[in-house]
Amino acid sequence: MIRTTAYPRAALIGNPSDGYFGRTIAFVFRDFSAQVELLPSDHLHIVPCDRERLQFSSMHHLSEEVSNNGYYGGVRLVKAAIKVFTHYATQHAIDTSANFRISYESDIPGRLGLAGSSAIVTAVMKALMEFYKTDIPKPILANLILSAEKDELKIGAGLQDRVAQVYGTPVYMDFDKKLMDERGYGEYIPFDKGLLPPIYLAYRTNLSEGSEVTHNDLARRYAAGDADVLAAMEQWKALTSAFWQLISAGDKNVADLINANYDLRASLIPISAGNKQLIEVARSTGASAKFTGSGGAIIGTYTDENMLTALRAAMQGIGAEVLIPDIA
């Protein structure tokens, strides 16, 4: 039995520039996970999990399931990962004649910008590497995981999530266009979580929205040469560089940079009332706040236990959960 695990990702600064030759800093945290089990088998067998269920107790049960998890489960992600891995294996003369039975489970809250989809793909890829006794370099593996989602399933996304999940540690990422064009991946610098200030996450599951909503519109405007979008990408890069310089020097006073990241996003992309409320309520306590990804979950810094207590109380008042992430 092969068992592999991948964790959700929280984007700390720079997103959503990661799909546009930008710079970001992100980490994975162990409070939730996607897990894969793989066994040798006579036939290749993909076992669906509860999210793929086709039987419900009522119409309300079905509606609640769709609201929480969307219309698509994880089997398509498993299939896409296997296809991409097979293509890589063919190119590198890796024998994939042995079949297997593969199943997955995930408790990562869906559609909150926590990279739950790529966590499933990452865990599948790790299981396939172990089963076929091969090792794929981390930067290349991140590219393959992105390809499974973006090329095979047409999910709008960037590399940031996959890099953080493959490295399994906080990572500074520079997706410089020259590097990307020359070698296919950027500069990735893993670093110790001790450099980071006190961080919280807060989320409301009733605000879930797929990342494709944000990415697809940005991609269209970026491709069209929208001046505001092009300028914003440069500003997100600059915010990330400033953040990286501060924490590298032992300075954890980065709240203003986190707030600026969100403010820039809000100037470009419509923000729903519920998502805007998350930000405003967090900031009312003195905490910094921005989205971890596409919306529904926010991330920020707090200064002390008094501020954290106030933050928890304020978030409870709007039905939001506050989590101090167990950063990997």
Task: Write down the mean pLDDT value for the chain.
Answer: 94
Q: What is the pLDDT of residues 33-59, one digit of tens each?
A: 999 999 999 999 999 887 788 889 999
Neighbours of 153 (CB within 10 A): 17
Specify whether the CB–CB gap between 170 and 192 falls below 8 A: yes
Neighbours of 140 (CB within 10 A): 14
Indicate if the alpha-carbon torsion angle 208, 210, 215, 220 is positive or negative: negative
For the chain, the domains span 2-190, 197-323
What does the pLDDT read at residue 312? 98
Per-residue pLDDT of the chain (328 residues; tens, 9 = 90+): 999 999 999 999 999 999 899 999 999 999 999 999 999 999 999 998 877 888 899 999 999 888 777 777 799 999 999 999 999 999 999 999 999 999 999 999 887 889 999 999 999 999 999 999 999 999 999 999 999 999 999 988 889 999 999 999 999 999 999 999 999 999 999 999 999 999 999 998 776 554 545 556 888 999 999 999 999 999 999 999 999 999 999 999 999 999 999 999 999 999 999 999 999 999 999 999 999 987 889 999 999 999 999 999 999 999 999 999 999 9
What does the pLDDT read at residue 298? 97
CATH superfamily of 197-323: GHMP kinase, C-terminal domain (3.30.70.890)
**Whole-number percent of the chain with pLDDT over 90:** 84
What does the pLDDT read at residue 213? 53
In this structure, the strands spanning 171-174 and 2-6 are unpaired
What does the pLDDT read at residue 66? 82
What does the pLDDT read at residue 217? 83
Chain centroid offset of residue 276 CA: 20
User: Is the CATH number of domain 2-190 3.30.230.10?
Assistant: yes
What does the pLDDT read at residue 199? 98
What does the pLDDT read at residue 207? 67
What does the pLDDT read at residue 86? 98
What does the pLDDT read at residue 6? 98
What does the pLDDT read at residue 51? 75
Q: Which residues are catalytic?
A: 161
Calpha distance 309→71 (Å, rounded): 37
Task: Select from 244, 193, 224, 170 the least CA-distant residue to 22.
Answer: 244
What does the pLDDT read at residue 71? 78
Q: What is the pLDDT of residues 164-192, one digit of tens each?
A: 999 999 999 999 999 999 999 999 999 99
Q: Which helix (H) or strand (E) holds 306?
A: helix 305-316
Task: Select from 187, 234, 211 the least CA-distant residue to 293.
Answer: 211
pTM: predicted TM-score of the whole model, two decimal places: 0.92
Specify whether the CB–CB gap between 174 and 233 falls below 8 A: no
- The residue type at 208: S
Task: Select from 311, 70, 64 the least CA-distant residue to 202.
Answer: 311
Calpha distance 157→232 (Å, rounded): 18
Spatial neighbors of 231 by CB under 8 A, at least 6 apart, are none
What does the pLDDT read at residue 309? 98
**Whole-number percent of the chain with pLDDT over 70:** 97
What does the pLDDT read at residue 153? 94
Helix (H/G/I), strand (E/B), else coil: 292: coil
What does the pLDDT read at residue 68? 72
